[in-house]
Structure 1
Amino acid sequence: MKGPAKDILFGVAIGEAIGLPFESSERNDMLKYSDSNISGCNVYSQHQGMWSHSTALTFCMAESIIDGYDLETTAINFIGWKNKSLKRSDGYVFDHNNTTVKAICRLEKVMNQSLYTDTSIFSSTSDFDNSNGSLMRILPLLYVIRDKPIRVQFNIIWDNSALTHNHIRAAMCCMIYLKVAEHILHGHEKSDAYQQTRHEIKELWDGIDFDLNEIRYFERVIQSDIRNYSFEYLRSGEYVMDSLESSLWCLLKTDSYKGAIQKSINLGGNTSSTGAITGGLAGLYYGFKSIPDPWIRTLSKRSYILKLANRLDLTFSKRA
């Protein structure tokens, strides 16, 4: 089984880089863009190929896994990214007031004051902890959870998600996303990966007595089939459920990496994170070779990403 690091890391980074120039655009405006003119309107005045916090924090996760993986190392990597411009394409943190950056500031305060315990490192728990900040960075955790019992997987995923988004809904979205990725990694066709995930998640809910009030939020993606919903019913904001639904729909309803990213951009709204989340799964499924060469050539810090992918692949081969 080949190491998936190159597929994952370039998939995430290019998905975000293609989406970033369109950030906060209206959907009606985005539908006019074809796959031949998605270089964007350059909202943030960046050169083509720049990426932002979704990719940067994904790389922080990868570095933590290479080093053996634990929550403290992961938290330190997040803090390093915030403070030292590590793993970023341009040294600028987008949206200093978002929930992810606020949670990382809290992590820093806890660790600087030597208050670290198994629970104090986690963010607060409220409905406001359900933005997509943990989902957008979670894919490298596939290395840690793959082939473990599903309840063990969920505990690992929830602990990681809770560093910045300590709500079971955000964690369950990460669980669903990673379960689809795990089946893809094992060679399943994408529709089969999704259907198997739906079945396994329902069994997990029974096993952990998942709150009925939470189950209702997953109606479109687990109880129903997200493929049965039309494009108009998808949303592309910061809410984690919207991001999960949109990324799965874009993967399942298209037949290429390029097509999946195009659809994620056509949604408008939070095109950078939706592009990254979609791009991670699409990169894993179609492979690095499926990514358009012009998108690769313009990507910022390609050499760094390739070296990181090679190190992560080595980790994968040692633990396989």
Structure 2
Amino acid sequence: MGLFQFFHSRKLESGPVKVSPHPIAQDKLKAVMYGLAIGDALGVPYEFQQRDTFTCTGMVGHGTHNQPAGTWSDDTALSLATLDSFTECGGKPDTADMLMRYQMWLKHGMYMPDGKTFDSGITVATAIRSGHGCDGLDDNGNGSLMRMAPCAFYHLTDEEIRQVSAITHAHEISMTACVQYARIIERLLNHVPPYKTITDSGFPFDPTIPRTEVKSDGFVLHTLNAALWCLSNTDNYQDCVLAAVNLGEDTDTTASVAGALAGAIYGFESIPQEWVGKLRGRELIDMYVSEATRKR
């Protein structure tokens, strides 16, 4: 039995899970986690491809990373690691524990569908290996934003969210964007209209800009803006994530961020069941969601 299988078998055999004192609605957490994972898996085959050189219409495999259809990447894996840490630490943002779980992902493929890590960003890998978040101006990729969705469920302060970002991305730009993203998800889950939610977050956003002006590279502010643009210019989960993938470039992260937002609004039932059925490793999502929402 490999390390990946051993770890998860031990989790399934373990005793009572340490849960947050704040009750978490399982349906909402499931919607957000599946929302981001489906978006991630849709985008994986097209990562780094230029806009309008391809058209994504559904779940396919191979492409950029030569992965089977339905394979998620670091976006989902590190989101699951973050969620797992919250569960094991009683809903508290224990950054040392999170770092340990991120190291298990990077070194041993933990939280991946088949125990194999691929597509790690430079800043993420550097920070995880060194144990120190990167804080240079050039260290403002979307590698902390992509794993921030679970923070929306734990009533964290802004500073606590910033600390979670700073495990890998410690520059003010990245930390602030992570706070804004988490707050947007929180309010969407509480049925606040999207436009008011975005406005209240303080993130500068114009939903009326043309698609040609929406940047979808790896810069954290571009990723958040692109995901919000897709959310604001569609009216259902499927169209939102497909719009995100078809922006090109950092397709998996843009679509995972957009997918978490769309999942928060439209719910799990809005996600095409064909895509859910093709998602590899979905039993891991079910397990971590169940553990996070289990009562004492």
Give the TM interval when normalised to the shorter protein: 0.7 to 0.9
**Is 1:296 aligned to residue 272 of structure 2?**
no
SS at match of 1:28: coil
SS at match of 1:187: coil
- Tell me the amino acid that sits aligned with residue 2 of structure 1: A
Root-mean-square deviation (CA), in Å?
1.8
Distance, in Å, in 2 between the alignment partners of 1:294 and 1:38 is 9
Cα offset, 1:41, TM superposition = 6.0
Q: Which runs of 4+ in 1 moved over 6 A?
A: none
Pairing of 1:143-162 with structure 2 (within 5 A): 143-145=153-155, 153-162=157-166
Cα drift, residue 34 of structure 1: 6.0
Aligned counterparts, 1:136-147, within 5 A: 136-145=146-155
Is the partner of 2:110 in helix, strand or coil? coil
By how many angstroms is 1:304 displaced? 1.7
- Counterpart residue type for residue 104 of structure 1: I
With over 3 angstroms needed to count, the CA separation of the structure-2 counterparts of 1:97 and 1:304, relative to structure 1, is: closer
Q: Which residue number corresponds to residue 52 of structure 1?
A: 73
Aligned to 1:39: 60
Task: Name the counterpart of 2:20.
Answer: none
Find the aligned partners of 1:269 and 1:126 in 2 and give their Cα distance.
23
Equivalent in 230, 245, 254 of residue 274 of structure 1 = 254
Whether the 8 Å CA contact 1:246–1:274 is kept in 2: the answer is yes
TM-score for both structures, normalised by structure 1: 0.79
- Which of these residues, 57, 63, 78, is aligned with residue 84 of structure 2? 63
Contact 2:231 2:240 in 1 (8 A): yes
Tell me the amino acid that sits aligned with residue 244 of structure 1: L
Q: Quote how far apart the aligned CAs of 1:96 are.
A: 4.8
Provide, for residues 125-172 of structure 1, a one-character-per-residue CA deviation record: whole Å limited to 9, x for no partner. 2112200000000110112235xxxxxx22111111110001010011
Instruction: Report if the CA contact (8 A) 1:22-1:40 is conserved.
Output: no
* Preserved CA contact (<8 Å) 2:59 2:275: no
Residue in structure 2 matching 1:127, options 116, 134, 137: 137
Work out whether 1:2 is the aligned partner of 2:25: yes
CA gap 1:182/1:271 in 2 versus in 1, 3 angstroms: same
TM superposition shift of 1:83: 1.6
**Alpha-carbon distance in 2 for matches of 1:56, 1:34:** 22
Paired residues in the alignment total 269
**Match 1:85 to one of 109, 118, 122:** 109
State the distance in 2 between where 1:185 and 1:237 align: 27
Aligned to 2:243: 263
Contact kept, 8 Å, 1:238 with 1:270, in 2: the verdict is: yes
- Which residue number in structure 2 is paired with residue 167 of structure 1? 171
Q: Deviations over 1:192-229 (max 9, x none)?
A: 2223323xxxxxxxxxxxxxxxxxxxxxx42xx42021
Q: Is 1:24 aligned to residue 48 of structure 2?
A: yes
**Structure 2 unaligned spans of 5+:** 1-23
Q: Which moved more, 1:93-102 or 1:49-58?
A: 93-102
Deviations along 1:252-287, one digit per CA (max 9) or x if unpaired, are: 111011011011011000101111111111111111
1:14 corresponds to which of 35, 38, 52: 38
TM-score (normalizing by structure 2): 0.86
Per-residue deviation at 1:314?
2.7
